[in-house]
Amino acid sequence: MKKLPVIIDCDPGHDDAIALIAALASEKLEVLGVTAAAGNQTVDKTEKNARKVLEICARTDIPVAKGRGKPLWNPLSVAPEIHGDSGMDGPVLPEPSMPVCREPAAALMARLVEESPEPVALIVTGPCTNTAVFLLSYPHLWKKIAKISVMGGGAFEGNRTALAEFNIWTDPEAARIVLESGIPVEIYGLDVTHKALIYREEFALFREREGMVFQFLADLLDFFGGTYLEARKFPGAPMHDSCAVIGLTNPELFTYVETDMSVETESPRSRGALTMDLRPAAGKKPSVCGKIALDVDREKFLQVLLGACETITRQRREKGYAS
């Protein structure tokens, strides 16, 4: 089967880490590179966390580049109340030994896209800062971007404000550049990611399994599920970022509505809100190049994540690593 080449722009981040595992395990994706964004934590922390995840997955062959240290316009506002001071509190991991790329994120994206024989899909699970810098800096490469899958926003929900979701709110200008580029965009917003929930009683499905990867994911769920319970009274851990990955590998699990989208950037009250037109006739416009996911088959989604841990565990064993 021909794999879809992808670059993952992320801000690990507990759910980003789980999304990376899902992407690395999929036989449908070829992860060309990972770029770290400033979001959940500073970019120095998110890039280190990204390298830690690749090392656990025995994929130090994949380059990790550090992105911009702050949003295009806003000051950076990190989320230690959800992800802790390291950005990935909970699991106890060694310092990464693989090097970080010398190239900045946008330059790595450009090199990987240029080198790829096939169009590349971008998966964005943090603020869109790096992806926007890439698009603005390399317009001649837009024709080699197959699509952009974004975890962000929400048709009917916000979490950083009543109207805005954290990734889009952190850098609304960057999100607007991505959404208005005309490149096909898939949005996985809070409407669907809050349904992609692993319930607390299901954490045991990972904890009870042998091997470092299952235990790593269980540690992530324990911490992330704990902060979501304390801060937002959630009965489990929402797998926000894995939606942007599994939407590419298993689109049949999701329900979508076609609509062009953008971001409100002018009003201080609604800044960062995702804008769209869901009226029935609106989606029929010839210019529509966006779709938003509004529902997911949660049980099958959970099975994909369990299967991903199984796959990475097997791959580690085949490479001679302790499982």
CA distance 17 to 216: 10
CA distance 211 to 227: 25
Considering only residues 56-95, where is the footprint of ligand RIB by CB under 6 A?
none
Considering only residues 137-196, where is the footprint of Ca ion by CB under 5 A?
none
- Name the DSSP letter for residue 273: B
CA distance 61 to 24: 12
Specify the stretch interacting with ligand RIB by CB under 6 A; choose among 84-92, 163-171, 263-271, 314-322: 163-171
186 binds, among ligand RIB, Ca ion, none (CB under 5 to 8 A by kind): none
Least Å distance between CB 294 and ligand RIB?
16
Q: Fill in the per-residue mask, 202 to 241: x = in contact with Ca ion (CB under 5 A), - = not in contact.
A: ---------------------------------------x
166 binds, among ligand RIB, Ca ion, none (CB under 5 to 8 A by kind): ligand RIB
If binding is defined by CB under 6 A, does position 149 make contact with ligand RIB? no
Considering only residues 125-144, where is the footprint of Ca ion by CB under 5 A?
125-126
* Active site (annotated) includes residue 240: yes
Nearest of 126, 186, 195 to residue 156 by alpha carbon: 195
Specify the stretch interacting with ligand RIB by CB under 6 A; choose among 22-30, 44-52, 158-166, 251-259: 158-166
Nearest of 71, 48, 52, 49 to residue 60 by alpha carbon: 52
Number of residues interacting with ligand RIB: please give it, by CB under 6 A: 15
User: Any residues with CB less than 8 A from the CB of 132 and at least 6 apart, and which?
Assistant: 72, 171, 173, 174, 175, 177, 178
Return the residue of 5, 7, 9, 13 that touches Ca ion, per CB under 5 A.
Answer: 13
Q: What residue type is 153 in one-letter code?
A: G
Return the residue of 165, 171, 219, 260 that touches ligand RIB, per CB under 6 A.
Answer: 165
CA distance 293 to 157: 13
Q: How many CB atoms lie within 10 A of CB 207?
A: 14
Q: Which is nearer to ligand RIB, 11 or 260 (CB)?
A: 11
CA distance 149 to 124: 6
Q: How many CB atoms lie within 10 A of CB 180?
A: 15
253 close to 297: Cβ distance less than 8 angstroms: yes
Specify the stretch interacting with Ca ion by CB under 5 A; choose among 15-23, 43-51, 245-253, 264-272: 15-23
Return the residue of 40, 49, 181, 227 that touches ligand RIB, per CB under 6 A.
Answer: 40
CA distance 43 to 141: 25
125 close to 240: Cβ distance less than 8 angstroms: yes
If binding is defined by CB under 6 A, does position 13 make contact with ligand RIB? yes
If binding is defined by CB under 6 A, does position 189 make contact with ligand RIB? no
Radius of gyration, CA atoms only, the chain? 18
Considering only residues 124-143, where is the footprint of ligand RIB by CB under 6 A?
125-126
Question: Which residues are at the interface with Ca ion (CB under 5 A)?
Answer: 11, 13, 16, 125-126, 241
Question: Which residues are at the interface with ligand RIB (CB under 6 A)?
Answer: 11, 13, 15-16, 39-40, 125-126, 151, 159, 165-167, 240-241
